[in-house]
Structure 1
Amino acid sequence: MYLRNAWYVAASENEIGDGLFPTTLLGEPVVLFRKADGQIKALEDACPHRKLPLSMGRLDGDQVECGYHGLTFDSEGTCTRAPTSARIPARAKVHSYPLQVRYGLVWLWMGDPALADPASLCEVPEWGDPLWGLSCGASMTVPCNYLYMTDNLLDPSHVAWVHQSSFGNAACASEPVTVTETANGVIVSRWMRNVEVAPFYAQFVTFAGPCDRLQHYEVQFPCQAIIKAVFTPAGTGHDDAPMHEEVFLMNSYNFMTPVDAHTTRYYWFQMRNFDPDNDAVSRRFDEDVQHAFAEDRAVLAAVHKGMLNPRTAPINLPSDAGPIKFRRELARRIALQSAEDQHASESLIASTAT
């Protein structure tokens, strides 16, 4: 179901305080905490004795004590104390997850720890650039499978109906899209020429009159999206030529973390090429984007519920070309990972037998 050899957002950095923070990723319970030096660590949220969540215990310095029989684990998952046993059982250990903190988010590697490469994290080239403003965004829980969210983020056309008062307008209804497969995912994009500026963006653009608008919807495996919005005076929109001096640029970074087959945790932030130090602009971005994403949430929750009904099969439209390509390649990668895991397991069994 999941591509495990990948980085997933477990929490916002500011969510991890002085205590134990439980969460779930890819169906696995995890507990996060800070050591005394501020470093964040992540362990399997289950004591190996009777699988009581460690998050129901307590943080003792840099160690986690189980709230059932006091088994205590260091930040790497090694048991350091077993009060009710004469010695520490050999199997008294819990899984420790490779972890990175970047862009204000806590990322966990959910697969083989030996393959955890920080260089494979999503790149945000504008991060820290003083010419770009940051809207810190937020997070929300969406009651749907994460693939319905990747579908949504590879579908520019939906804004014409779901986001009529914000990201969309009539211009977004029928303009054809270009679908491009990359080494890391799928891009769906289109230029819309000589159109009205959509409501959300109209409050920020500095030019008057119609625009050329680029919608760039990119989802990278397994479930990270970069949405680029370009608004430039009509007649000045080009892929290769220098940008107009009044061009509006917004790059929205979106991260979906599957909780389980029916629930997804959604994190995001936006970068913009204007008013980098204007807190009022950042607040408006945050409020309006939160409202628009709440519209998505309502639709996707209903889609998930509707797709569980087996009575009639769903149909696809031409606008589904990008999501279909993404799902097929992701399924291929998951199947390849499963085959590699099976081969490794069989090799281990064979070596043990001999």
Structure 2
Amino acid sequence: MNFMRNTWYAAVWAQDLPADRLVPVTIIGEAVVLFRDAAGKATALLDRCPHRLVPLHLGRLCDGGARLQCGYHGLEFDGAGRCVRNPHSDRVPTAAKVRAFPVVERHSLIWVWMGDAAPCEAQIPDYSAFDECNNARVGRRETIELDVNYQLMTDNLLDLSHVSFLHDGILGHADMVRGNIEVQQEDNTLYVRRATPNVAPPGMFDLMFRRDGQPVDVWADMRWNAPASMLNYAGVCPPGGERSAGVHILGAHILTPVSEFRTRYHVAAVRYDDTVTRSEEEASEVMQKLGDLRRHAFKDQDEPMVMAQQDAMIRAGGLDAVEPLLLNIDVGPARARRLLETLRQQADEVREPVEA
């Protein structure tokens, strides 16, 4: 698959990269090993020793992360990928080096630049609401492995009309089918906004709000940044009222392609329910239920449906073999796919490479 390479990908949540541990991940088909160096800085190397090509994550860290030792023959590499010790000789071969990837730890995530062009940190999307300092409002940060293509999951997230059917009773219901859709592009950021006024609250938001089933205005504003980093601002408020008078959540939906048919889905939610008075125990219980409902919706409902879609497309000849019927609800996904291809071509033009 023709992945976008000169861009940042979320590898893991920062909480999942502790000190003294080697964490293997695969990003757009490339095997990468993550670890923290002696200063605690996140580091990423190609997960392949240049000697016998065994995965480096099968080795161990030395001197608190200053060096990574291959578990097969003991070659040791620093955070820049240079071999700094050959236990079999006083000489280190010039070819004894491993590719190092640029890494930035930001917004509770470890971001890795997979391309050869010089990285631009300004391109990392804003997920500041999920910073560690906001732990009181951030629910559990988790990663879900999905056996689906990341673009099919992007289509799913940018067309939230499906919640009325696939997530009926949790995130939507029949009266929310004909929402008002607006698509807006600001530079390279795409917004897909959906609003449904004066309807019964979806189950998840009724749990957060008044718990009385009375009508509300419902909205879901999805922000998209290439290749597949999304932020959903969703909530309910009294009919015709200001959004600030209701409750809402910010949901991180960050897709990292592992391969053509596998995706790592980084999810978390920040709650904003200051209009509702609850004890700390009750608020914690609500967050736990929200997390359980979210995982059920993604893993037990979205994944099987998108997997079935993917299987049907493969049987028809491939993901691009059949031109799908487009409805008015597809304006967001279609726009994102066009923008992604434009940005991919621009980003992957020959530019000044990163020094080895």
Q: Give the C-alpha shift of residue 13 in structure 1.
A: 2.1
Question: What is the aligned partner in structure 2 of residue 31 from structure 1?
Answer: 33
Residues 1:88 and 2:89 aligned together: no
Q: State the distance in 2 between where 1:284 and 1:89 align.
A: 56
* Aligned residues of 2:205 and 2:235 also touching (Cα < 8 A): no
Question: What is the aligned partner in structure 2 of residue 112 from structure 1?
Answer: 116
* Aligned residues of 2:6 and 2:114 also touching (Cα < 8 A): yes
Q: State the distance in 2 between where 1:281 and 1:121 align.
A: 31
Q: State the distance in 1 between where 2:45 and 2:193 align.
A: 40
Which AA in structure 1 matches 2:350? Answer: E
Give deviations 1:7-60, integer Å, cap 9, x for gaps: 211112232232211111111101112234433211110111231111122222
Question: What is the aligned partner in structure 1 of residue 348 from structure 2?
Answer: 338
Q: Give the C-alpha shift of residue 131 in structure 1.
A: 11
Q: State the distance in 2 between where 1:47 and 1:125 align.
A: 36
* Aligned residues of 1:137 and 1:290 also touching (Cα < 8 A): no
Q: State the distance in 1 between where 2:151 and 2:237 align.
A: 32
Q: Give the C-alpha shift of residue 334 in structure 1.
A: 1.4
Question: What is the aligned partner in structure 2 of residue 348 from structure 1?
Answer: none
Give deviations 1:229-284, integer Å, cap 9, x for gaps: 13111122xxxxxx356311111111110001110000111112126963222212
Q: State the distance in 2 between where 1:114 and 1:244 align.
A: 41
CA RMSD of aligned residues (A): 2.4
Greater Cα offset, 59-68 or 224-233:
59-68
Gaps of 5+ in 2: none
Q: State the distance in 1 between where 2:92 and 2:243 align.
A: 67
Question: What is the aligned partner in structure 2 of residue 350 from structure 1?
Answer: none
Question: What is the aligned partner in structure 2 of residue 11 from structure 1?
Answer: 12
The two structures have a TM-score, normalised by structure 1, of: 0.87
Residues 1:193 and 2:197 aligned together: yes
Q: 1:244 to 1:66 in 2, by over 3 A?
A: closer
Which AA in structure 2 matches 1:215? Answer: A
Q: Give the C-alpha shift of residue 340 in structure 1.
A: 2.5
Q: State the distance in 1 between where 2:89 and 2:315 align.
A: 51
Question: What is the aligned partner in structure 1 of residue 250 from structure 2?
Answer: 251
Q: Give the C-alpha shift of residue 166 in structure 1.
A: 0.7
The two structures have a TM-score, normalised by structure 2, of: 0.87
Q: SS state of the match for residue 123, structure 1?
A: coil
Of 160, 171, 179, the residue aligned with 2:175 is 171
Question: What is the aligned partner in structure 1 of residue 306 from structure 2?
Answer: 300
Q: State the distance in 2 between where 1:338 and 1:41 align.
A: 23
Gaps of 5+ in 1: 237-242, 346-354
Q: Give the C-alpha shift of residue 132 in structure 1.
A: 7.2
Q: State the distance in 2 between where 1:194 and 1:40 align.
A: 48
Q: Give the C-alpha shift of residue 127 in structure 1.
A: 4.3
Question: What is the aligned partner in structure 1 of residue 46 from structure 2?
Answer: 44
Give deviations 1:171-208, integer Å, cap 9, x for gaps: 22233412222323322213211111011111111385
Question: What is the aligned partner in structure 2 of residue 319 from structure 1?
Answer: 329
* Aligned residues of 1:232 and 1:246 also touching (Cα < 8 A): yes
Matches within 5 A, 1:256-267: 256-267=255-266
Q: State the distance in 1 between where 2:32 and 2:71 align.
A: 16
* Aligned residues of 2:5 and 2:348 also touching (Cα < 8 A): no
Which AA in structure 1 matches 2:54? Answer: L
Of 44, 57, 60, the residue aligned with 1:58 is 60
Q: SS state of the match for residue 267, structure 2?
A: strand
Q: State the distance in 2 between where 1:140 and 1:190 align.
A: 25
Count of residues paired in the alignment = 337
Q: State the distance in 1 between where 2:349 and 2:118 align.
A: 18
* Identity score, percent: 32
Which AA in structure 2 matches 1:320? Answer: D
